[in-house]
């Protein structure tokens, strides 16, 4: 079937005016297609609030996760907001459409002893040992995303100044302080085992390489982190992002300024960083429960 003209115009708006990535555009299109399928032959631009409420009810009845429901509703609000903006509609049918309430999700965090246990469990006598230890130190010591870790470049290490340059989401660059232990482990790897690897053409500037001389993939780092946790006897469900959460949480617990943490994490909005104040409250509450004689 040919694409609905309103949907086609929305797609063009996302691509050319909003300049969204192909993945983001496809996510919006997926939301719109779901509603189109639900409406059948009824044109999507004629949907009423009652139609949309029935659609949301169908998502719930199919046991779709609350967060996924909320994301789809958000996508549809953007679609109908666009139709209002371009004059196709005079009223927005999603204006009174309620999204399901999403509870605050507090990420798993590693304790300092668990972080140390992971570091100690990495066998430095293996060919990849120094690389893995350096990666773990950078993940925790700098709070990097896994995508930022695997694309970290030698030319972006400014250890004399105590910083490394990170290329984050949207190709935005930021400078992140790097501690002495992380610097030490990266230097040991770069000056040692990394020089024994035959580096592939075009991969010379990447810090962390696999045995074949290519930079690591996100999937490889996920597998390595799972193995580190297993070797350290940690039963928590962790991922590379757990190190980032732990980095931020430990800073906030130690009294770090939230704006500074925001800058180091590369969060666009301070509200994203504020989740760590909730984690800190839980930490305080647990300490009171443990040590206060009347709690």
- Please list the active-site residues: 145, 169, 241, 244, 267, 276
Residue-wise over 175-210: b if at least 16 C-beta within 10 A, else e?
A: ebebeeebbebbebbbeebbeebebeeeeeebbbbe
In order, the DSSP letters of 76-137 are HHHHHHHHHHTTS-SS-TTTTPPPPP----PPP---HHHHHHHHHHS-TTSTTHHHHHHHHH
DSSP helix, strand, coil percent of the chain (3-state; round to 5): 60, 5, 35
How far apart (Å, rounded) are the C-alpha atoms in residues 291 and 295?
A: 8
CA 124, CA 274: separation in Å to the nearest integer?
37
H-run or E-run covering 165: strand 163-167
- Cα separation, 202 vs 200, in Å, equals 6
d(CA 218, CA 148): 10
Instruction: Return the biggest CA–CA distance within the chain.
Output: 71
Measure the CA–CA gap between 74 and 94, rounded to whole angstroms. 9
- The span from the CA of 26 to the CA of 80, in Å, is 17
Using CA atoms, how far apart are residues 211 and 127, in angstroms rounded to an integer?
9
Give the C-alpha distances (Å, rounded to integers) separating 14 from 7, 11, 30, 95, 183. 11, 5, 13, 21, 42
Query: Which residues are CB-neighbours of 91 under 8 A, at least 6 positions away?
Result: 84
């Amino acid at each position: 079937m040919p694409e609905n003209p309103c949907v086609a115009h929305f797609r063009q708006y996302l691509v050319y005016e909003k300049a969204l990535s192909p993945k983001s555009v496809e996510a919006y299109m997926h939301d719109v297609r779901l509603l189109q399928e639900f409406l059948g032959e009824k044109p999507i631009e004629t949907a009423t609030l009652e139609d949309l409420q029935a659609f949301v009810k169908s998502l719930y009845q199919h046991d779709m996760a609350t967060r996924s429901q909320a994301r789809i509703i958000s996508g549809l609000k953007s679609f109908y907001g666009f139709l209002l903006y371009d004059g196709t509609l005079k009223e927005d049918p999603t204006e009174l459409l309620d999204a399901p309430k999403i509870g605050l999700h507090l990420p798993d965090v590693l304790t300092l002893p668990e972080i140390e246990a992971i570091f100690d469990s990495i066998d430095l006598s293996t060919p990849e040992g120094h690389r893995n230890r350096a990666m773990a130190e950078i993940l925790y010591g700098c709070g990097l995303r896994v995508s930022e870790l695997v694309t970290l470049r030698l030319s972006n290490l400014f250890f004399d100044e105590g910083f490394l340059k990170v290329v984050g989401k949207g190709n935005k660059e930021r400078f992140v302080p790097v501690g002495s232990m992380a610097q030490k482990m990266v230097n040991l790897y770069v000056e040692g085992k990394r020089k024994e690897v035959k580096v592939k053409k075009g991969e010379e500037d990447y810090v962390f390489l696999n045995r074949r001389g290519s930079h690591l993939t996100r999937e490889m780092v996920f597998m390595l982190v799972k193995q580190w946790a297993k070797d350290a006897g940690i039963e928590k469900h962790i991922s590379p992002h757990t190190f980032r959460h732990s980095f931020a949480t430990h800073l906030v617990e130690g009294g770090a300024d939230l704006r500074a943490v925001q800058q180091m994490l590369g969060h666009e909005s301070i509200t994203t960083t504020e989740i760590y104040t909730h984690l800190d409250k839980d930490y305080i509450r647990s300490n009171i429960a443990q040590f206060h004689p009347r709690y």
